[in-house]
Amino acid sequence: MTSTVLKLAQELMACPSVTPATGAVFDCLEAQLKPLGFEVHRALSGEAPHGPVENLFAIRKGPEGSRHLAFAGHLDVVPPGEGWASGAFEPEVRGELLYGRGAVDMKGAIAAMVSAAAEVPQDAGTISFIITGDEEGPAIHGTLALIEHMRSVGAIPDLCLVGEPTSVNRLGDMMKIGRRGSVNIWLEVEGKEGHVAYPHLADNPITRLVAMLAELKAIKLDDGTDWFQPSNLEVTDLTVGNPATNVIPAKAQARISIRFNDQHTGQELAERVSAIAAKHGGTARAMISGEAFLTPPGEFSAMIAAAVEAETGLSPEASTTGGTSDARFLRALCPVIEFGLCNATMHKRDEAVAVPDLDALARIYARVARAALAR
């Protein structure tokens, strides 16, 4: 398994796949999965500017009535930027580290999943791969399209393991049993432009927008829960675009972002903000990126913890911190937990993974698969 997972990771990382991803990187993954007995379904979804996106669903069916574990992840990566010591899409091993875009987020984990699947016999149960090319982008045409396909063919897993890089300082120190939801809201106030010396002949939209934002920021959404930190609302943009020093502008805009726990829904928060915006003569347009979810500690998290401890000696912390992932969509299918590599270099120049961590992760995933399919 040691040499195999490194080779698999290098093959995937050598395929440029800046989001939205299509083509060669999916050819590569398909070529890795087919010899293992997987049936592979690929499809394009969406149009410019957020598409087309390629998605892949692969399944190797076990005996009739057997358990079904899904591995999930994404092959798209963020743009590499400048200043790499070696080519971002020319994976290179230096010492114990494998360098290249996608090393930890998350082609390395997908390689470990493929390696793990090769170690689990087909008669143990059903294993599938839910792999998108649209996670780092808007995530409009990615995992949601895959879920629709899975429902149409009746391929609903019992459990789903997402390979996001959850570890912090050492492989195995953290898994994600939930994530907060996310909603972005664009605010706008229209006023009446005029000369600053004659304010009574104008209506300054900035004044009302500032009052609106002050009221929104004064809201205490909650105190958090046993598993979630408190929800927070942040102002992320403020735009007037008025180059003149002596003109009261006609319009002012702002954007807020709310990360919320499972005491709220995106729609409820959007409606609450809209009411406050209307009170100040403004409008609000919301885009809900995902709802909060929680897979309470139990049988599935215990399986992962046991596998991690067996390979690393660590007991992973069950956490809900951090940003969002496609687990927010997959939660609609079955219990879902995220576990993967160390995240220190993700989205950074010279992204890298320790080769021993790749090997260990493949063994952890294989242990989880055997345990999940044996239940």
Burial class (CB in 10 A: 0-12, 13-18, 19+), 245: exposed
Q: Please state, rounded to an integer, the average pLDDT across all residues of the chain.
A: 96
**Same domain (yes/no): 131, 159:** yes
**Same domain (yes/no): 173, 186:** no
> Can you give the CATH number for the domain in which 118 is found?
3.40.630.10
| Whole-structure pTM value | 0.89
Residue (of 184, 106, 18) closest to 361 by Cα position: 106
Contact 23, 117 (CB under 8 A): no
Domain end, chosen from 236, 261, 290, is at 290
* pLDDT, tens digit (0-9, with 9 covering 90-100), for 137-172: 888 899 999 999 999 999 999 999 999 999 999 999
Q: What is the DSSP letter of 341?
A: S
Given a cut of 60, whether residue 245 has pLDDT beyond it is yes
Residue (of 159, 126, 116) closest to 311 by Cα position: 116
CA 95 to centroid of chain Cα atoms = 30
Range of the domain at 222: 181-290
Given a cut of 80, whether residue 235 has pLDDT beyond it is yes
**Same domain (yes/no): 298, 154:** yes
**Same domain (yes/no): 54, 162:** yes
Task: Give mean pLDDT, residues 275-286.
Answer: 98
From the candidates 11, 54, 76, 164, give the one annotated as an active-site residue: 76
**Same domain (yes/no): 52, 165:** yes
CA dihedral 222, 224, 228, 229 (to 10 degrees): 90
148 is catalytic: no
pLDDT score for 1: 41
46 vs 70, higher pLDDT = 70
**Same domain (yes/no): 280, 302:** no
**Same domain (yes/no): 172, 298:** yes
Domain end, chosen from 227, 258, 290, is at 290
Task: Give mean pLDDT, residues 89-102.
Answer: 97
Burial 177-208, CB ≥16 within 10 A → b, else e: bbbbbbbbbbbbbebebbeeeeeeebbbbbeb
**Same domain (yes/no): 19, 153:** yes
Contact 226, 208 (CB under 8 A): no
* pLDDT, tens digit (0-9, with 9 covering 90-100), for 7-35: 999 999 999 999 999 999 999 999 999 99
Contact 117, 105 (CB under 8 A): no
**Same domain (yes/no): 204, 281:** yes
pLDDT score for 50: 83
**Same domain (yes/no): 253, 126:** no
> Can you give the CATH number for the domain in which 277 is found?
3.30.70.360
| H or E element at residue 347 | none
Domain end, chosen from 240, 256, 290, is at 290
Given a cut of 80, whether residue 375 has pLDDT beyond it is no
**3-state helix vs strand vs coil in the chain, percent to 5:** 30, 25, 40
pLDDT score for 162: 98
Question: Which residues have CB under 8 Å from 350's CB, separation 6+?
Answer: 84, 85, 99
% the chain with pLDDT above 90: 94
Given a cut of 90, whether residue 202 has pLDDT beyond it is yes
135 is catalytic: yes
**Same domain (yes/no): 134, 160:** yes
From the candidates 54, 105, 134, 135, give the one annotated as an active-site residue: 135
What is the domain count for the chain? Answer: 2
**Same domain (yes/no): 228, 79:** no
